[in-house]
Amino acid sequence: MKMLQESTLYIEKNTDILEVDINALVKCASHVIVPLGPLDTFAARNPWVGLEGQSFEQTARRLKDTCEVDMYPNHSMFQSAIDHGEIRQDFIEKGIQEWLNSQAFELPRERAEQFCRAAILQDDQYPSDIENLELKSVAKKLTNFTNYIIKSLSIKTYSQSLEQLGKANAAQVLNSHMIKWCKLFLDKSQAVWLMPHREEGFYHAWRKLVQHDSSLSRKVRTQLSELPIDAEGALKKVLIELGVSNSDIQEYLEAHFLALPGWAGMMLWRSQQSEEEASLLLDYLAVRVSMEWAFVKPYLPLPENRNEKVNLEPLIAAWTEWGNMPIDGWLKLSSAEIKKHLILAYRFDKIVRNRILLEAWEKTYEEHLKKMITSQQNNIVIPDVKPALAQFVFCIDVRSEPFRRKLEKAGDFETHGTAGFFGLPIETCELGSNHTHNSLPVMFNPQYKVKEIAKESKPFEQRNQVVSSLGNTFKTMKHNLFSSLVLPEISGPWLSLQTLARSFMPRSTGRTISKMLNTWVQKPSTELSLDKQQLSDSELPIGFSNNEKVHFVRQALKMMGLTNQFAPLVVICGHGSHSTNNPYNSALDCGACGGKSSGFNARVLAALCNLPNVRESLASEGIIIPKDTVFVAAEHITTLNELQWLYVPELSDKAKESFKQVQDVLPMVSEEVNAERIPQLPNLKSHLKNAKGEAQRLSEDWSEVRPEWGLARNAAFIIGGRHLTQDCNLDGRVFLNNYNWKKDKDGAILANIIAGPAIVTQWINLQYYASTVAPHYYGSGNKTTQTITAGHGVMQGNASDLLSGLPFQSVMKSDEEAYHEPLRLLVVIQAPTSYVKRVLEQNHVFHQKVKNGWIRLASIDTEGSWVSWY
């Protein structure tokens, strides 16, 4: 487990900057951004993971100040949540009371309450109507009081300050230059003519090129050509020239990272991929700050502005409008009272108000969940002794919940929830591909490699090659001056045929094309390389040793709470999605598998569980898997709400019978789930007759921007037995992880769940949260105006930051209506209080998340009563 990182580097005030360890400073500063990998393996990330040392509210203040990003939902989201009864008035009231208690104002309580109540639902920070002469004259008389309320501003980049002073659009120009250099450097061979010198590293390449860049003035070019030859020297030199004081350097660099968090994040990701590029972030800053220096040099020194006196007029206006206080009333107050009034109005600002509203919203949801779960506990039937016909293991993903609910209703089936990588730290490699994928949560590293193999794979590979050679021929011809000129005439007829077919019959065209491809390719039946082969020390071992096999199976079974009473058929279900023409389709795949389907991992686990020697070893430890129990693997296609078989070995008689029953009910189950889920997507028709057909269209239509809702509206993570939630309609909003504290005496399983799945779910949750509250900054903007760049990610319009989160369409029903409810994840643990305490003591990272409001925690103790932990 990762230790808490030191996030600020302390530098003595009078240290010479040349002696400062600039690498360490850059590293510390980089905690404001997160690594951003390529889009085709989109894995959810918490954009604030490095900022969790501070509270949510503090971070919100800082980001608002530095880059004008709101971390709280906006007014209209709150307003409509209130309209829909999703925020209870009494929780708002309670929030106000608690805040007033924490502030210890000496104002008459009633007066303060009245002010807060009136202010809480206001859209504006303060009343905008301050053009009143009387108000102005009163404010003038109270000027002395401005000394009591001083706002300290965070450090901005010089180009930002310059822009705020209205002297030049330096920040915009700097950003567009940085975007240009980053995309050319990071390009994954989209361009035919590569950026020259780029193998020498970012700073070196830039330094050699920038002197010839005619989009810069001659003066700037000369200045830049005189920079030191190494990035470190350059960065230090320009920091000195800019006159950034030692104590400010880190925050100053952070402001630079926050200007384009996407491109900086991509640099950070690259720097983590290989040793050679480890100092890429330093390069990035050296380039960026050097250019800033060249742009702002004519304006130096800039006026220093660290503290700002607060304007009193809005505060007075607030009291007039929300506190019913006449303007001339101020002059009758004593100076102590004036001060108290002003401070109250100043402190009860938009961020505090939003925090209270968000907490009330979250509490309302918690109350709803609590009622649903606890009301059900009274009528829990003691589980049948008779084992189920079949057991299904699903990913904790919120989309599993509706499917599990319907499946359980359809027959004598039992379902379990566990993280979709099934505890296997593997890198996967599919047949005929030399591309490997890290199929595990992004915060871990793979330790094994598993390959898909086939006895006779040559013909398959050759046929596969034919398919890709068509694309390559197209590309080669496009990139040649002569052949590119006739390419439209050669490929035009084919492309238009496809376009017409996709326009008239979106559903069947996509299916026909993929069917034809499959028929052509004829993928042979494959096996997995499960037995250990160590090729070299530098590479990951392929497969597992016997002990490792037993270890991973044991761990997986324990994590999913399936160690006895095995049904004859155990189905390990991975999940993946199907969508067409969607750059974000990996965002709809399994978040625990690094943004790909978890089907591969499901296959590996099922195959391991069927190995006779694994079962023998497990039996000696007390985990007895009956002889006629067979593990099979399947993939839950979340777009279609279907289960497709991936691996079905020879079945025992009992298992055969179960398998048949499962086969029989599956069509009905997926129909029911579709009927529940599909109408939630925006549609032109008022009611849907054929939900299955619509689901197929969603997955095949090339013009579809919302093939499914993915994990939108996720809100809670329940760690506990399925009987807790068995009969609840959780509306596809809850991650479910099986856990039985009685089988976990030492708390090791719970610690594992908290360190792995809980973090994955929190990251997913905050990714959706951030993409909803700041779609332009933490989301990916509008899908319709995106352009894919450098083979890595997307930009908006002509050029923009490399966008990191989910697109607008994935969280919004329309431009004006949100679908996702931005709530911070509520983790509910079903375990005795002492278990929860223990896990908080052991896991500091988790404790910090709870303490600072990045996640919320509740538990259900042995008596079945609900405890909130904040």
Among 92, 216, 590, 637, contact with Zn ion (rule: CB under 5 A) = 590
In this structure, what token pair is assigned to residue 834?
């002492």
Options 152, 214, 274, 620; binder of another protein; rule CB under 8 A = 214
Least distance from another protein to the Cβ atom of residue 349, Å? 18
Judged by beta carbon, residue 338 or residue 590, the one nearer Zn ion is: 590
Any idea what the Cα angle at residue 541 is, between residues 536 and 545, rounded to 5°?
125
Stretch that binds Zn ion, among 48-56, 394-402, 511-519, 804-812 (CB under 5 A): 394-402
The site partner of 172 among another protein, Zn ion, none (C-beta below 5 to 8 Å per kind) is: another protein
Shortest separation between residue 244's beta carbon and another protein, angstroms: 22
Q: Which of 636, 826, 849, 807 is nearest to 714 (CA)?
A: 826
Contact map string, positions 307 to 346, toward another protein, x by CB under 8 A: ----------------------------------------
Site string for Zn ion, 416-435 (x = CB under 5 A): ----x---------------
For residue 711, the minimal CB distance to another protein (Å) is 18
* Torsions phi, psi for 807 (to 5 deg): -70, 160
Can you tell me which of 782, 838, 847, 851 binds another protein, judged by CB under 8 A?
A: 782
Binding residue (CB under 8 A) for another protein from 275, 798, 841, 863: 798
Q: Give which of another protein, Zn ion, none residue 841 binds (C-beta under 5 to 8 Å, depending on kind).
A: none
Angle at 181 between CA 177 and CA 185, to 5 degrees: 170
| Residue at 533: amino acid letter | Q
Is 16 within any annotated ligand binding site?
no
With CB under 8 A as the contact rule, which of the stretches 35-43, 325-333, 562-570, 723-731 interacts with another protein?
35-43
| Interaction partner, residue 800 (Zn ion, another protein, none; CB < 5-8 Å by kind) | another protein
Please give the structure tokens belonging to residue 582: 């969607």
Of these partners, Zn ion, another protein, none, which one is at the site of residue 493 (CB under 5 to 8 Å by kind)? another protein
Q: Which is nearer to Zn ion, 234 or 827 (CB)?
A: 827
- For residue 613, what are its two tokens? 């020697």
Q: Fill in the amino acid letter for 302.
A: L
| Among 149, 142, 143, residue whose Cα is nearest residue 329 | 142
Q: Is 508 in the site for another protein (CB under 8 A)?
A: no
395 contacts which partner out of Zn ion, another protein, none, CB within 5 to 8 A by kind?
Zn ion
What counts of helices (H) and strands (E) characterise the chain?
Answer: 31, 18
Q: Which does 592 bind (CB under 5 to 8 A by kind): Zn ion, another protein, none?
A: Zn ion
444/702 with CB nearer another protein? 702
CA 11/CA 437 separation, integer angstroms:
41
- 590 is an annotated ligand-binding site residue: yes
Does the annotation place 727 within a ligand binding site? no
150 is in the binding site of which of another protein, Zn ion, none (Cβ under 5 to 8 A by kind)? Answer: none
Q: Report, in Å, the least distance between residue 312 CB and another protein.
A: 27
Residues 169-188 that bind another protein (CB under 8 A): 169, 172-173, 175-176, 179-180, 183-184, 187-188
Interface size with Zn ion, residues (CB under 5 A): 5
Q: In what order do the strands lie in the sheet with 630-637?
A: 413-418, 390-395, 569-576, 630-637, 642-647
Residues 258-297 that bind another protein (CB under 8 A): 259-260
Q: Would you state the torsion angle of the CA atoms of residues 559, 561, 565, 568, taken in this order, to the nearest 10 degrees?
A: -60
Nearest-5° Cα angle at 26, 23 to 31: 135
Exactly one of 4, 121, 150, 470 binds another protein (CB under 8 A); that residue is 470
The Cα 870–Cα 865 span in angstroms is 16
Q: List all residues 6 or more positions away from 660 whose beta carbon is below 8 Å from its beta carbon.
A: none
DSSP notation for 142-194: TGGGGGG-EEEPPP--HHHHHHHTTS--HHHHHHHHHHHHHHHHH--S-SSSP
- Please measure the distance between the N-terminal and C-terminal CA atoms of the chain and give it in whole angstroms: 24
Q: Which of residues 348-407 bind another protein (CB under 8 A)?
A: none
User: Per rule CB under 8 A, is residue 492 in the interface with another protein?
Assistant: yes
Residues 75-134 that bind another protein (CB under 8 A): 75-77, 79-81, 83-84
- Residue count at the site for another protein (CB under 8 A)? 131
Question: How many Å apart are CA 74 and CA 399, to the nearest integer?
Answer: 27
Phi, psi dihedrals of residue 168, rounded to the nearest 5°: -160, 155
How far CA 226 is from CA of 170, 230, 249, 446, 856, in Å, comes to 21, 12, 23, 44, 53
The binding site consists of 395, 397, 575, 590
The binding site for Zn(2+) consists of 395, 397, 575, 590
